A and B are shown apart, each in its own frame.
Chain A
Amino acid sequence: AQSVTQLGSHVSVSEGALVLLRCNYSSSVPPYLFWYVQYPNQGLQLLLKYTSAATLVKGINGFEAEFKKSETSFHLTKPSAHMSDAAEYFCAVSEQTGANNLFFGTGTRLTVIP
């Protein structure tokens, strides 16, 4: 079965600093990978997705992620954190066949310090 591991349930960065949120997946076949953001009491919003095209994926709000097969990783980065980036971030994986079910990581709460 597909699974993802998010290292660090809480990450704090200063405003303007680099954001790095880690995600590793387990799969013998490269899956589809997603990053979603969730603000308090709201649904999930897609930031970006990897579907076996370019390994460096650019998303909304200045976020990007790089798929590294050798490391089975799909870490999310943003060069300069903004106060509005404070939220919960979920990495998710789905299989290349089947029902497109998403399997989520446990999430990383990002705090941005002014």
Chain B
Amino acid sequence: DAMVIQNPRYQVTQFGKPVTLSCSQTLNHNVMYWYQQKSSQAPKLLFHYYDKDFNNEADTPDNFQSRRPNTSFCFLDIRSPGLGDAAMYLCATSRDAGQGYEQYFGPGTRLTVT
């Protein structure tokens, strides 16, 4: 029954040690999004894929990368995590772009950087 799945739910990494967060979906949606949500703040869009077309937000640091090997999976790579990257990372999907399609969110991965 799960629609947007994120693994792991909790991730601890060391300062500067690369980390990968994963997201999968069973909805067959075209668009997948990654958001960063810091404590007591609104989610902030990092980037999204429309099918295989990658779209980076202008203020997303180069330290953040993403891969979408197929329709179902999308990965968030943080190349050198800093203490300021500790946050909840939310994956979302939507059937298509435009037309007010709603986004479906996963439960999130909480990243701790030590």
Contacts and interface: CB of A to CB of B under 8 A. Distances in A.
B40 to A, nearest CB: 8
A96 B108 contact: no
Interface string A71-114: 00000000000000000001000101111111011110000000
Contact of B42 (A34, A43, A105): A105
B113 interface: no
B68 interface: no
B107 A99 contact: no
Interface residues of A, number: 25
Interface residues of B, number: 31
B102 A46 contact: yes
B42 A106 contact: yes
Contacts of A94: 100
Nearest to A34: B102
Interface in B45-91: 45, 48, 50, 55, 88, 90
B59 to A, nearest CB: 12
Contacts, number: 69
Contacts of A44: 43, 90, 92, 105
A100 B31 contact: yes
Decide if the interface of chain A is mainly helix, strand, loop or mixed.
loop
Contact of A107 (B42, B50, B103): B42
B97 interface: yes
A43 B107 contact: yes
Interface of B: 4, 6, 31, 33, 40-45, 48, 50, 55, 88, 90, 92, 94, 96-108, 110
Interface of A: 32, 34, 36, 41-46, 49, 51-52, 90, 94, 96-102, 104-107
